[in-house]
Structure formats: C-alpha cells, structure tokens
Chains A and B, each alone.
Chain A
Amino acid sequence: MSDTSSPEGTADSGGDLFSKFDDIIAMREGLLATGVEDPFNLVMEKVLSPTRAICNGRDTILLGTYNYMGMTFDPDVVDAGKQALADFGTGTTGSRVLNGTYQGHKECEDALREFYDMDHAMVFSTGYLANLGIISTIAGKGDYIILDIDSHASIWDGCAMGNAEVVPFKHNDIEAMEKRLRRVPEGAGKLVILEGVYSMLGDLAPLKEMVAIAKKYGAMVLVDEAHSMGFIGEHGRGVVEDEGVLDDVDFIIGTFSKSVGTVGGFCVSNHPKFEIMRLVCRPYVFTASLPPSVVATAATSIRKLQHAGNKRGHLWENSRRLHKGLTDLGFQLGTEECQSAIVAVIMPDLERGAGMWEALLKEGLYVNLARPPATPANMTLLRCSLCAEHSDEEVGTILGMFERAGRNTGIIS
C-alpha cells in the first residue's frame, strides 16, 4: 500500500531510469517558471558570524541554520580545530576500527560521556549515519520497531536498511503507540523510536508518558535529540532530561551539526554490551572517521555547552519573542506555544511559500523552505531556527522583515 511504488512511476519508462523523477522535475520547473529565486540552490559567499552571511550577494540574517548555540565562530572552538589540523593533519583516511581512531576521537567520546553522564559514547561521521547504523543494527529480523510517523528521514532509512517489522503510529499519539505495543507478538524484541523535538513544526514529544508506556511493555527506547541538545534541559541533555526520563531511555542519538556547530553524529547509552556496536554496526565500520579538526572542535564545543546556562536563557528569550511576534502579526505557526528554538510558519501552498521565502531573502533574511514530502500533512513551511547569538535588535529586525514581506505577498493582511 506504499505510494512509493506507484504504477505510473514504473510502467513504460522506456528504459530511462530517471523517468521516476519526472513528477518532481515538473514540480521544480513549475516553481522556477514563476520567476522565483531557486529556494534549493542558495549560495553563501561569505559567512560573517553564526547569524550573518552574504547570501546570493546580499547581507543576510541567518534564521534557518540550526546553529542554536552559535558555536561555529567560538574562538576556543576555532582554535582547537586549527591546532588539531596542524598537529594531526587534514584527515584520518580510515575507518574507526582500523586506522581512523585518533586521540581526538577518544576525547570527543569522553566529552559526550561526561555531557550526558552515561557509560558509553560512539561517534559517527554524521547524525544520519548514527540513526542509520544504530537502528538497522539493533533491530533485526523478527523484532518490531514502533515509531512516530513524523520521524526524520534518517530514522526511516535506518528502518528500511534493517530487517525488523516497522510499525508507525500517528504523530505524538500516546494511545496509538500503546495499542501497537500491546499487539506485538509475545517474545518479539521491541524498539520504540521517538524524537525530543520534531524538526518540522518544532513541537515536543510527550516523552514522560511515552517512555513510561514503552517500558511497561518491555520495549527498548531510542530518542533522537538532534534539535534539543545544548539548550533543552538543565544541563542541555535534551527533552529526556527536561521530562525526567533520561535514565529510562536506552539510547540517545544526536548530532554535531546543530548546537555543537560542526559535523558528526553520536549515540550514547548505558547498555552494558554497547561497545560491541563498534564491530557490528556497518555505517560505523565501513566509512572514514571524522577529520581530527572536526572532532577537536566538537569536543571543545560540547565541553563549553555544559556551562552555557546564560546562552540557553537568551536562546529561549529569542525563541519566545519571535513566536509571540509572528503570532501577533497574524502568521499561522506550527505550534500554539513556543516549545523549542524552531518556529515554523505555515504557508498556504508551495508557490506562495516560495514567494514569501524570496521576499524575505530580498529583505535580507534566510529561513528554510520546507515542502512535501518532507513535511507532515503535505504542508509548506517557512522554518525558522533561532540562535543564542541573535541579538535583541536582530530579533526586532527579523519581525519587521516578516511584517513587510508578509504584507507584500498577501500572506498576512
């Protein structure tokens, strides 16, 4: 019943394997034919700070980078990267299990263990690979994965790569999740996959209730905290910390490409056998490890994030102010209350969404344009993510830009 295998896409392709992309090619051409600047081909010629760049030739405020804690230009972090580049060279040219584990990789995993106060930490080359690797490896044939239908692509791909039975439930629906857990055949292994913050609308999962139910049915729980690490929870450990369920969760997946400010992914766990993952997890074994400069910047950034209470406070202020300001202007947002540093502005359709996106870019503001099928309920969204380094003045400027662009494009009256 999957619509990915539609007969239109497979029949009569005339041998061209690219025929299956005709629909999306037409959608893209249709959008560009309206004369709008290509939303998926933006180039940043210069990056001035975590919140400013020259984009397509314009001085632009960045409001769609997930650079939540603004660590990308932190002097200590930059220095650590330079030093590692000088001392260890540009790359490891090898797998973590062969020649690709340097001192820096161990130090980075030490920093993660301390950050989460957990026994084991495993660093992957990207966050995508962390989900792909852990999910496809731990849930095998005969096991059941129960997951939220709005899960990130890396989670779905991890499910597709493994051999477990995959059972989705309606977004954030506690009862739907419990029903599915109850129906899993007796004796089968169960993995529940949740996200702390869902990145499309910026809403949170009711983790307290959901984790308790998962445990009641004897399931292991994996929570992706990509969009909460560093600023949600007292120590920035994510929604699991804020909801008081950190100790009940079996695996936390995270990324270095958001609050940490570089690239890479990880899994932390207290499972006593966790270290065997390093030998059996193919997306960990069969790819080159992160360059020494990247793990050095990540480790330094993670350690600084442990003591970033003031920055966390300012990021919350920025997020709440933008959420309230946009609501007051009459925009329709993804959540009624501000729940995270993501503020999603719902657009009536792709064409008008792209028009609003372009109007904002011309004002000097970059946000993410998110479109189906990546979005829930086929929505077109302008996704804003705030940064702790946005000044009060910048947030005011951003609201002015939204007001002008929104009126000029008729999104608000």
Chain B
Amino acid sequence: MDRAEVDSKIRELIGPFNKKGVEIQDSTTFVGDFEFDSLTVMDFVAEIEDEFDIIISMNQQAEIENYGQLVDAVTKLQD
C-alpha cells in the first residue's frame, strides 16, 4: 500500500473515534486536536494494528504526535 492508500484507510478507521468531527490534516494532533485520552489511543491503535497486521509499540507511539506522522509510520511499518 502506498502512502495515499494508507492515508485513506486510516481516515476511514479514525471516523468512529473522531467524535468531535475534527477536520483531518497532516498537522492535526491526537491529544490536542482530536482530544484522545489514553483509552481511546489504545483502542484506535489496536484497530490500525489489526487492519495493517503490524505492531505500533508504545515507544513508536510516543514519537507520533499528529496524523501525518501516523500515516508515515504505518506506511513504513506495513512495507
């Protein structure tokens, strides 16, 4: 899957978690903009991991602050 395909898949997956209907850009942050708490992060990460059959360890999650970084990380991990 190339970056654009990963992007559209993650956009689909984030829908149910984006309760405030925040407009998604690469710079949209998970904590500040989406207002995810730690439980939401866990459920959301699990969805992505299952969809792409990858592990996003907590160490990697700590480096991911915004949507664009997540798409980059997943694109690389599922290669």
Which A residues contact B (CB, under 8 angstroms)?
1-3, 5-8, 144, 149, 159, 165-170, 176, 179-180, 183-184, 373, 377-378
Q: Are A184 and B55 in contact (CB under 8 A)?
A: yes
Q: Which 6 A-B pairs have the closest CB atoms?
A: A165-B57, A166-B58, A1-B61, A183-B55, A1-B30, A1-B41
Q: Which residues of B contact A3 (CB under 8 A)?
A: 31, 36-38, 41
B79 at the interface (CB under 8 A from A): no
- Which single residue of chain B is at the shortest CB-CB distance from A181? B55
Most chain A C-beta atoms within 10 Å of own C-beta, residue among B41, B46, B53, B64:
B46
Q: Are B36 and A1 in contact (CB under 8 A)?
A: yes
Most chain B C-beta atoms within 10 Å of own C-beta, residue among A2, A6, A179, A180:
A2
Which B residues contact A (CB, under 8 angstroms)?
29-32, 36-39, 41-42, 45-46, 49-50, 53-55, 57-62, 64-65, 70
Q: Which residues of A contact B65 (CB under 8 A)?
A: 1, 5
Question: Given that A1-B36, A2-B41, A3-B37 are known contacts, is A144 also in contact with B57, CB under 8 Å in the complex?
Answer: yes
In the assembled complex, the Cα of A271 lies from the Cα of B55 at a distance in Å of 29
- Which single residue of chain B is at the shortest CB-CB distance from A176? B46
Most chain B C-beta atoms within 10 Å of own C-beta, residue among A3, A165, A168, A169:
A3
Q: Are B31 and A7 in contact (CB under 8 A)?
A: yes
In the assembled complex, the Cα of A7 lies from the Cα of B70 at a distance in Å of 18
Q: Which residues of B contact A168 (CB under 8 A)?
A: 42, 58
Q: Are B61 and A183 in contact (CB under 8 A)?
A: no
Q: Which residues of A contact B61 (CB under 8 A)?
A: 1-2
In the assembled complex, the Cα of A3 lies from the Cα of B31 at a distance in Å of 6
Q: Are B32 and A183 in contact (CB under 8 A)?
A: no
In the assembled complex, the Cα of A168 lies from the Cα of B60 at a distance in Å of 12
Q: Which residues of A contact B39 (CB under 8 A)?
A: 377-378
Q: Which residues of A contact B31 (CB under 8 A)?
A: 1-3, 5-7
Q: Which residues of A contact B41 (CB under 8 A)?
A: 1-3
In the assembled complex, the Cα of A102 lies from the Cα of B75 at a distance in Å of 56
Known: A1-B62, A179-B50. 6 other contacts (CB 8 A): A1-B30, A1-B31, A7-B32, A165-B58, A183-B53, A378-B39
18 residue pairs from A and B, CB less than 8 Å apart: A1-B30, A1-B31, A1-B41, A1-B45, A2-B41, A3-B31, A7-B32, A149-B42, A165-B58, A165-B60, A166-B58, A167-B57, A167-B58, A168-B58, A180-B55, A183-B55, A184-B55, A378-B39
